[in-house]
Amino acid sequence: MRKTELKINLSNLKHNINLIKKFTDADIQAVVKANSYGLNMSKVLETIEDDVESFSVITLTEAEEVRKLTTKPILLLQGVHQLDDYELIEKHKLDFVIHSSWQLNEIEKYNLSNSRIWLKINTGMNRLGINLDDFEELFKKVKSLNTSEIILMSHLSASSVKDDPHTLSQIKIFNDLVNGISCKKSLSNSGAVFNMPEAEHDIVRPGMAIYGGKYNEFGTKNVSSLTSQIISLRNIKAGERVGYDGTWQAKEDCIIGSIPIGYADGLPYFMKPITVSVNGKEFKTAGKLNMDLTLINFEQDSSIKIGDTVKLWDFDSDLSKVSEEFNTISYNLLTNISSRVTKNYLE
């Protein structure tokens, strides 16, 4: 059996939720989209359900899967993609975002009395959200609907950067707009929970902070460890080329090892060397990433053996730094791990 696996530490997951609670008195909505950032939705919900107010996803398919696992509120972060999606929202009693006026067309046809509407306001990210000039009119229309509750929300563009001027401007715009309105509000994402207490309202919506892919400086713990095992070792002479297109050339005699993991398993494609560790020692990859293999330059270390475990990252890794080597972001590292990679859970 191929010994390539993603280990997931559920105790670290629990730690991260408890850490978030220390930074906020607000209710917590756990963002579990993309199969809980690639870590398996059912296991994540089982671990943190008692600690959160609600969950949020992107697609109706995701929402249906979550609904099988919990009776708590589930928010569709992009709302409906077509108007007949409201049939499933009604059926599964889902919360949903309104970010564009068209999403209110024909909405009266559906019984949404068990749903909360989250009215999303564009405060400067210019991605999704109603314009400030349209707020009064659309808010009035939403208030006329038979729904269980209205929640006002927006999304911050750079909350990971403390005192980012644009993000602080977004917070001020939102706070000024909603001041005095009796509805619940939600603005803080992961970064704002730690960096911007002035963004805190009734519900915070952490995502990556739950999974430990960022914010280690505040005490989050990485929840995952990605490993594989060496299946081949080959002696290479100085001057010989290795891998596709022969882009890597040995500067001296060395040992090249192969591990069965590649971009089909979700690793971001790379051509420049990436750091891995074996038996507590660090080595660099050799050549381009393959679909199914990664090649490693073990230099002249004869202690490396077939079957040794290679760590691409571990529970004590800072995924933000690991992702820099891959020239990507930690979100990409986690969410792209494919179903070919075995997932094993540690309590």
Share of the chain above pLDDT 90, in %: 98
The predicted-structure confidence for 32-66, as pLDDT tens digits, reads as follows: 999 999 999 999 999 999 999 999 999 999 999 99
Q: Residue 216 falls within a domain, yes or no?
A: no
Q: 225, 195 in Cβ contact below 8 A?
A: no
Q: Which positions ≥6 away from 112 have C-beta within 8 Å?
A: 86, 89, 90, 145, 146, 147
Of 163, 183, 211, the last residue of a domain is 211
Q: Residue 252 falls within a domain, yes or no?
A: yes
The pLDDT of residue 275 is 97
Count of structural domains within the chain: 2
Q: Residue 307 falls within a domain, yes or no?
A: yes
The pLDDT of residue 294 is 98
Q: Residue 217 falls within a domain, yes or no?
A: no
Q: For the whole model, what pTM was predicted?
A: 0.93
Q: Residue 2 falls within a domain, yes or no?
A: no
Residues 238 and 97 in one domain: no
Residues 158 and 270 in one domain: no
The pLDDT of residue 154 is 98
Residues 112 and 247 in one domain: no
The predicted-structure confidence for 21-34, as pLDDT tens digits, reads as follows: 999 999 999 999 99
The pLDDT of residue 243 is 94
The predicted-structure confidence for 117-157, as pLDDT tens digits, reads as follows: 999 999 999 999 999 999 999 999 999 999 999 999 999 99
Q: Is the pLDDT at 162 greater than 90, yes or no?
A: no
> Which residue range is the domain that position 255 belongs to?
224-314+317-346
CATH number of the domain where residue 321 is located: 2.40.37.10
Residues 252 and 186 in one domain: no
Average pLDDT, the chain: 96
Q: Is the pLDDT at 6 greater than 90, yes or no?
A: yes
d(CA 248, CA 241): 6
Residues 87 and 121 in one domain: yes
Share of the chain above pLDDT 70, in %: 100
Q: Is the pLDDT at 163 greater than 90, yes or no?
A: no
Residues 44 and 92 in one domain: yes
Q: 187, 171 in Cβ contact below 8 A?
A: yes
Residues 22 and 60 in one domain: yes
Residues 88 and 138 in one domain: yes
The pLDDT of residue 1 is 84
158, burial (CB in 10 Å: exposed 0-12, middle 13-18, buried 19+): middle
Q: Residue 219 falls within a domain, yes or no?
A: no
Residues 203 and 300 in one domain: no
Residues 187 and 255 in one domain: no
Of 179, 211, 243, the last residue of a domain is 211
The letter for the amino acid at 62 is: E
The pLDDT of residue 301 is 97
Q: Residue 166 falls within a domain, yes or no?
A: yes
The predicted-structure confidence for 242-266, as pLDDT tens digits, reads as follows: 999 999 999 999 999 999 999 999 9
Residues 191 and 235 in one domain: no
Of 159, 183, 211, the last residue of a domain is 211
The pLDDT of residue 24 is 97
Mean per-residue pLDDT, 313-339: 94
Mean per-residue pLDDT, 153-173: 94
Q: Residue 161 falls within a domain, yes or no?
A: yes
The pLDDT of residue 161 is 87
40 CB neighbour count, 10 Å cutoff: 16
d(CA 76, CA 344): 29
Q: Is the pLDDT at 86 greater than 90, yes or no?
A: yes
d(CA 217, CA 230): 33
The pLDDT of residue 347 is 83
CATH number of the domain where residue 61 is located: 3.20.20.10
Residues 20 and 114 in one domain: yes
d(CA 66, CA 45): 8
**Alpha-carbon dihedral of residues 170, 173, 177, 183, nearest 10 degrees?**
20
